[in-house]
A and B are shown apart, each in its own frame.
Chain A
Amino acid sequence: DIVMTQTALSSPVALGQPASISCRSSQSLVHSDGNTYLSWLQQRPGQPPRLLIYKVSNRFSGVPDRFSGSGAGTDFTLKISRVEAEDVGIYYCAQATQFPRTFGQGTKLEIK
């Protein structure tokens, strides 16, 4: 199985400041079709997960452009250019390159 490992944010983030979350996979996420099926999900308190980014760097419909994704192979990053109060929650990376699908353990974003 592919293990997804996320970094924790070092401290609460001040409003308007940037935030960055890293995710590393135990093996390459490049699919045989050439795509890299790495997604980022946001889960606000008491809510179901919501897709933010798919295939490493594509913003899903309705996602603000302050969210961006980057990376390749086994190392990926989610960046929030300017944190807003509504961004509080837990962020998960997920791989959909092979079964079983696996998720990172989650990274909590708190506001200072």
Chain B
Amino acid sequence: QVRLAESGGGVVQPGRSLTLSCAASGFTFSSYGMHWVRQAPGKGLEWVAAIWYDGGKTHHADSVKGRFIISRDNSKNLLYLRMNNLRAEDTAVYYCTRDSHSVRFDYWGQGTLVAVSS
């Protein structure tokens, strides 16, 4: 079955960096586009970044552009989010989620919490 498992979250000081990972299993990872979506405590869902199935194209939300970078390693079935210059407003649970050709956001991981605090 499809499984997405995020890791790498934790408490980090403002201005520091953190890299999140999402381990994919149960499907051919290299055939699917992938996304990061976040949810601040008590708030709604915010799309963060997307990457094409082959890594050839990426999109980032304006709120993270220039600070966050989405990438993937199809040989390891891993999705990444490198987060630089973290701010308090980046505090959230970060989810990875999948796109198929016709079904968007079809499977979600359990999420990993990032807390930015001094």
**Which of A49, A58, A92, A104 contacts B95 (CB under 8 A)?**
A49
**Which of A39, A58, A106 contacts B105 (CB under 8 A)?**
A39
Would you call A54 and B104 a contact (CB within 8 A)? yes
Q: For residue B118, give the distance in angstroms from its CB to the closest CB of chain A.
A: 28
Please measure, in the bound complex, the distance between the C-alpha atom of A41 and the C-alpha atom of B95, giving whole angstroms: 14
Across the interface, name the chain B residue whose C-beta is closest to A98: B59
Would you call B108 and A49 a contact (CB within 8 A)? yes
Chain A residue numbers with a CB within 8 Å of B109 are 48
Would you call B45 and A99 a contact (CB within 8 A)? no
Tell whether B31 is near chain A: CB-to-CB under 8 Å: no
Chain B residue numbers with a CB within 8 Å of A48 are 95, 108-111
Q: Knowing A49-B45, A94-B45 touch, does A100 contact B105 (C-beta < 8 A)?
A: no
Q: Knowing A48-B110, A100-B59, A101-B35 touch, does A41 contact B105 (C-beta < 8 A)?
A: yes
Chain B residue numbers with a CB within 8 Å of A39 are 104-105
Tell whether A74 is near chain B: CB-to-CB under 8 Å: no
Q: Which of A49, A55, A102, A104 has the most CB of B within 10 A?
A: A49
Interface positions of A (Cβ within 8 A of B)? 35, 37, 39, 41, 48-51, 54-55, 58, 60, 90, 92, 94, 96, 99-106
Identify 13 new A-B residue pairs, CB closer than 8 A, beyond the known A35-B102, A94-B105, A102-B47: A41-B45, A41-B105, A48-B111, A49-B45, A51-B103, A51-B108, A60-B103, A94-B45, A94-B104, A96-B104, A100-B61, A101-B104, A105-B44
A/B interface sample: 26 pairs, CB < 8 A: A48-B109, A48-B110, A49-B37, A49-B108, A51-B105, A51-B107, A54-B103, A54-B104, A55-B102, A58-B103, A60-B106, A92-B44, A94-B45, A94-B104, A96-B104, A99-B50, A100-B47, A101-B35, A101-B47, A101-B104, A102-B47, A103-B45, A103-B46, A103-B47, A104-B44, A106-B44
Interface positions of B (Cβ within 8 A of A)? 35, 37, 44-47, 50, 59, 61-62, 95, 97, 99, 102-111
